[in-house]
């Protein structure tokens, strides 16, 4: 008997790919380094707890991060890696209880974060009807990436994520081509382009390729970004007031959090309008 094909709902069933701080040991506040800048009020070394981290692994200034110079914290999302490493990889034993495993936990966290980011993109691709010809290959690759997230701490620490990223990128590129083909006519090609501070107010960027583009502080007010590929685009301080991002592909919550939108900005389903907009 042949197996029934996956439904759209089954194709996108994945572990929670958004950070759940209540089930994490404050890993992003400890494992990652940051330098004093416009995004962070202080410099912190990797593996050293942030001064704002409380004994219950919660942030002591969570509701006032931006006002106190920690805007960088508000744009970060671990794609669910924090709770995965805390509750699954290390079985719920935190780095304070078992200090000998702390360094390994901190090394594993960014690896799992990368794996979960790949799973996020694969989930998006699997949810796109235009990518139906690729769904079988995308599902197989998703299973391969998921299997790696279940590895032991030692296996994860030694994992070369690049070996997985390359085939994922190939399929995501093909997905992008299929989706953007729905937009008739010539599409803008801005892959990796330097568009920092660019004046793109009201621009027609439907189906544009903006993969890896530098859009820092660009004026995209009222721009039409429907079905645009935004994977890896740097949207820090980009003005998105009134912009239409409906159907844009591979846009992440951290990218939205880093931009400046408003109540009129139209965002893709599955993402949340940032509180500071």
Alpha carbon distance 223, 238 (integer Å) = 11
C-alpha dihedral (162, 168, 174, 176), degrees to nearest 10: -90
Digit-coded pLDDT (tens) for 100-117: 999 999 999 999 999 999
Q: Work out the burial of residue 92: count CB atoms within 10 Å of its CB; fewer than 13 is exposed, 13-18 middle, 19 or more buried.
A: exposed
What letter does residue 122 receive in the DSSP assignment? H
Contacts of residue 106, defined as CB under 8 A and 6 or more positions apart, other chains included, come to 27, 30, 31, 46, 47, 95
Q: Is the pLDDT of residue 28 over 80?
A: yes
Digit-coded pLDDT (tens) for 132-142: 999 999 999 99
* Per-residue pLDDT band at 16 (split at 50, 70, 90): confident
Alpha carbon distance 93, 252 (integer Å) = 30
| 15 vs 37, higher pLDDT | 37
Query: Average pLDDT of 179-189?
Result: 94
Q: Is the pLDDT of residue 11 over 60?
A: no
What is the residue extent of each domain of the chain?
A: 21-179, 186-277
Alpha carbon distance 78, 155 (integer Å) = 20
Asked whether 265 and 222 are in contact (CB, 8 A), the reply is: no
Digit-coded pLDDT (tens) for 140-183: 999 999 999 999 999 999 999 999 999 999 999 999 999 999 99
The per-residue pLDDT of the chain, averaged, comes to 93
| pLDDT at position 187 | 92
Query: Average pLDDT of 234-253?
Result: 97
Largest Cα separation within the chain, whole Å, is 62
* Per-residue pLDDT band at 247 (split at 50, 70, 90): very high
* Per-residue pLDDT band at 270 (split at 50, 70, 90): confident
Q: Is the pLDDT of residue 3 over 50?
A: no
* Per-residue pLDDT band at 9 (split at 50, 70, 90): very low
Which percentage of the chain shows pLDDT scores above 90? Answer: 91
Does the structural domain 186-277 have CATH classification 2.160.20.80? yes
| pLDDT at position 13 | 43
- Cα-Cα end-to-end distance for the chain: 53
- In three-state secondary structure terms, 59 is strand
Query: Average pLDDT of 27-42?
Result: 95
C-alpha dihedral (147, 152, 156, 157), degrees to nearest 10: 180
Q: Is-above-0.75 flag for pTM?
A: yes
- In three-state secondary structure terms, 189 is strand
| 191 vs 186, higher pLDDT | 191
Pick from 109, 98, 100: which is nearest to 149 by CA? 109
Which percentage of the chain shows pLDDT scores above 70? Answer: 95
* Per-residue pLDDT band at 10 (split at 50, 70, 90): very low
| pLDDT at position 194 | 98
């Amino acid at each position: 008997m042949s197996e029934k094909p996956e439904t759209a709902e089954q194709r996108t069933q994945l572990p929670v790919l958004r950070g759940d701080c209540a089930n994490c040991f404050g890993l992003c506040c400890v494992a990652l380094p940051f330098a004093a800048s416009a995004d962070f009020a202080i410099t912190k070394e990797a593996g050293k707890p942030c001064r704002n981290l409380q004994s219950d692994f919660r942030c002591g200034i969570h509701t006032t991060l931006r006002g106190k110079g920690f805007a960088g914290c508000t744009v970060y999302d671990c794609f669910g890696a924090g709770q995965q490493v805390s509750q699954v990889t290390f079985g719920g034993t935190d780095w304070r209880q078992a200090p000998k495993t702390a360094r390994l936990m901190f090394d594993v966290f960014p690896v799992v974060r990368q794996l979960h980011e790949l799973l996020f993109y694969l989930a998006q691709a699997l949810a796109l009807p235009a990518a139906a010809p690729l769904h079988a290959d995308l599902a197989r690759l998703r299973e391969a990436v998921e299997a790696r997230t279940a590895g032991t701490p030692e296996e994860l620490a030694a994992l070369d994520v690049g070996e997985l990223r390359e085939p994922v990128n190939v399929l995501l590129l093909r997905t992008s081509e299929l989706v953007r083909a729905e937009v008739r006519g010539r599409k803008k090609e801005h892959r990796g382009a330097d568009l920092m501070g660019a004046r793109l107010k009201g621009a027609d960027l439907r189906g544009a390729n903006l993969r890896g583009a530098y859009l820092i502080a660009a004026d995209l007010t009222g721009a039409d970004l429907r079905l645009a590929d935004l994977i890896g685009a740097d949207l820090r301080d980009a003005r998105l007031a009134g912009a239409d991002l409906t159907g844009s592909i591979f846009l992440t919550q951290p990218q939205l959090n880093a931009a400046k939108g408003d109540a009129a900005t139209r965002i893709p389903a599955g993402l949340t309008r940032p509180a500071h907009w």
